[in-house]
Each structure stands twice: as structure tokens, then as C-alpha cells.
Structure 1
Amino acid sequence: MNANQRLDKRDLILAKGAEVMTRRGYHGAGVQEIVQAAGVPKGSFYHYFASKEDFALQALQQVYGPRLQRYAQALDNPALSPRTRIVDYYGELVEHFARQEKLEYHCFIGSLSFEMAELSPALGAEIDAILQRSADILQACLEQAQAGGELATDEDCRSLASFITSAWQGALTRLKVASNTRALADFMQRLQLLLRA
């Protein structure tokens, strides 16, 4: 097996396993279920991952590296005003959920944070780092909005970015609990009010 094939198999296990963990939670997702979803033998799991915790750490990086990159690109699009970038980005996410025939919870980080942030310091630190990176990306865009007169000059962009990031995570939690998009619609309404100059 060449290096590309090994990488492909690892990526497959990470992708399929992250889906299983998102749906069933950390404790509800056994290694056997992860390898069955990936269509690989159980030995392959332990070839690439020292433990289930190690798998979850690598899966977080695999899932959120590209997502944070897309977020950064969307919020740095020079063709749109900073305020429009933010509202459009979250608006598209809300529309995505609204189009689903059956609402499904797609927040891997949310699933892990409730179960494992306190039990696993390594996972807790990785989750916090990802959420902080998301807030940092948003803060940079908010600062551009402020410089362009779209936000009040006395607005604390760091605090606002942290609040919006936390509010979005909370709205996703309500989506899971209520199985409707009301909390997401409320989030969008408040987001637009928050971003008025």
C-alpha cells in the first residue's frame, strides 16, 4: 500500500467516524461502529489512531480545518461589505438547515464539547482552540466593518465576535433539541440587529 492509499484510508475513517460520533456522541460511537461505517477492518483503526480520544482529536482537526478556511475566505471577500459577508454566511447556513426534509444535527464540535470537554483536557483544549479561531476570524471582519462605518466606533469587536460565536453554537443546540429552525431564525434576526451601525 502506497502513502496515498494509507492517507486515503485514514481520511475515510476520520470522515465516516466523525459522522458516527456527531450522530451518536462520543460514548455512543464505538470503534466497531466507526470501522463498519468506513468499511475497513478494526485493525485499521488502531493502525492510524492510538485510541478513540486520539481519533476524536484528529477528526476535529480534519473536519474543522477546511471549515475554518472556508469561513475565513467568506468573511474576507472584498466583493462584499464586511456586514454583508457575515449576514450572508450565516444566512446561507440557516437556509441549508431549512431546506432539509429531516433536520439533522451536523455540529461535531457541539456533540463532543458537551460530553468530553471536562473528561478529556486534550479534547477540551482542541475544541476551545477551534472556537477561538472562529471568533478571531469573525472579529477581524467586525473590525473591518467598524473601520468602514458599518459598526459603532465604540463597539468591542472581540466581545461581539465571542458573543455571536457562542450564540450560534447555542442555536445549533436548540436545533438538535427542538428539531425545528426557530432558534436559527431568531439568531439571524438578532445578528442583523447587532450589526446595525
Structure 2
Amino acid sequence: MNSRLRLDKRELILAKGAEVMTRRGYHGAGVQEIVQAAGVPKGSFYHYFASKEDFAQQALQAVYGPRLQRYAEALSNPALTPRERILGYYAELVEHFARQEKREYHCFIGSLSFEMAELSPLIGAQVDAILQRSADILQHCLEQAQAAGELSAEEDCNNLASFIASAWQGALTRLKVSSNTRVLDDFLQRLQLLLRA
């Protein structure tokens, strides 16, 4: 029971702290603000995390581990063709942002990459590994599309996956700046053109 409570408290700090760090950035989020958001004493933070940098690394895994799992599941759905999986996944994300009353986007991994990639090689390497894993999942689905004749046999799936992943991150950055989902619509329109045989 005690181990479950300890795990729950750690997960609570990770969840609430990641929200704070996503909104305020790495440098803008102090340990005190993180523990206040989680409703735990400051000593609890240092019981589970050696430092704020250690917290950020563990929070990245806690946030993006499940997201990558959902992405992999969506892009391996046997009920859809590979092309349908990719287009459907990104169309759902675009619709999600379009439904928001206040159109804004705060990206945990984006904030950390801008602030910390050069200052913390450990965080930079972890961010890069997460982004690469996402591109690898997409590449696998693109290769399936190619095998199914949905994509040109001449297409370089590794390069295309890297391009799509980078374009999506760029579109999200524009969304954060402009709060206008047109940039996401543009991305989706171009993606449809890219994924043609």
C-alpha cells in the first residue's frame, strides 16, 4: 500500500509539475510552484527527484511515453489503410485544436528543447530521442503505405517521415505564436498531397 501511495505522489508531482513547466517554461517554473500545484511539501520533490533537471527528464518520459504509445497504436490500426491512419490521426489533432474556445498551444517538449537543449545535454538528448521515436513510428507506417501501393515506390520513407514530423512541430510553433489554426489546415492539406502514390 505504501509503495502505491509513493508512486501516486510521484506521478502527481510529475503530472502537475509538467503542466506548470509547460505553461511557464523550464526557467519560469520553480520547485516551489511545482509542489504547490501538486499540493505536496517541498521535501517530497527532492525525495523523488535529485534536481529540477532530473524532474524534467522524468516528466518528459511520463508525458511522452503514453503519447508515443497512442501514436504507435493509431498508426497500426488494422481497420484502416496506412494512408488513412496517418491522415486520420493528424486530422483528429487539427480538429482538437479547432474546437478549443481559446486557441492556444503549449508544448512541453517544444519549450524544453528551446530553453534547455544547449544548456542540458541530458535533456537535449532525451528530447531528440522522443522526436526520433515519433519519426520512426511514422516511417514504419509510411513503409506499409509504400508496400500497399499507396505511396510511390521511389519515395524515401525515412526522409519523408523526418520532414512530416518537423513540419508538424513547425506548425505547432506557428499555432502558439498566432493562435490561428489555419497553419494546421495548411499542414493537413500539404500532407494529403505528400501521401499520394
TM-score range, shorter chain: over 0.9
| 2:106/2:176 contact within 8 Å kept | no
Alignment of structure 1 residues 21-170 onto 2, 5 Å:
21-170=21-170
Distance in 1 (CA, whole Å) between partners of 2:123 and 2:91 is 29
Letter in 2 for 1:9: K
* Equivalent pair of 2:35/2:41 in contact (CA under 8 Å): yes
Q: Following TM superposition, by how much is the alpha carbon of 1:103 offset from its aligned partner in structure 2, in angstroms?
A: 1.8
Q: Is the 8 A contact 1:22 1:105 kept in 2?
A: no
> CA contact under 8 A between 2:81 and 2:145: conserved in structure 1?
yes
Aligned to 1:8: 8
Q: Distance in 1 between matches of 2:71 and 2:134?
A: 8
**Contact 2:35/2:42, CA 8 A, preserved across alignment:** yes
Which blocks of at least 5 consecutive residues in structure 1 are unaligned?
A: none
CA deviation after TM superposition for structure 1 residue 104, in Å: 2.8
Letter in 2 for 1:23: R
Q: Is the 8 A contact 1:35 1:42 kept in 2?
A: yes
Q: Is the 8 A contact 2:167 2:187 kept in 1?
A: yes
Provide the residue aligned with 2:18 in structure 1: 18
TM-score, structure 2 as length reference: 0.98
Measure, in 1, the Cα distance between the counterparts of 2:105 and 2:14. 18
Given residue 54 of structure 1, which amino acid in structure 2 is its aligned partner? D
Aligned equivalents of 1:31 and 1:12: distance in 2?
14
* CA distance in 2: counterparts of 1:106 and 1:9, whole angstroms: 24
Secondary structure at 1:25's aligned position in 2?
Answer: helix
Which residue identity lines up with residue 62 of structure 1 in the other structure?
A
Letter in 2 for 1:151: L
Code of the residue aligned with 1:80 in structure 2: it is L
Are the counterparts in 2 of residues 175 and 181 from structure 1 also a CA contact under 8 Å?
yes
How large is the RMSD of aligned CA atoms in angstroms? Answer: 0.8
Identity %: 85
Write the distance in 1 (CA, Å) between the matches of 2:131 and 2:168: 11
CA contact under 8 A between 1:57 and 1:123: conserved in structure 2? yes
| Count of residues in correspondence between the two structures | 197
Q: TM-score, normalised by structure 1?
A: 0.98
How many angstroms apart in 1 are the aligned matches of 2:11 and 2:74? Answer: 25
Q: Distance in 2 between matches of 1:97 and 1:182?
A: 11
Distance 2:33 2:180 in 1: 28
Q: Which runs of 4+ in 1 moved over 4 A?
A: none
Alpha-carbon deviation of 1:183? 1.1
2:153 is paired with a residue whose SS is coil
Structure 2 residue matching 1:152: 3-state secondary structure:
coil
Task: For structure 2, list consecutive stretches of 5 or more residues without a partner in the other structure.
Answer: none
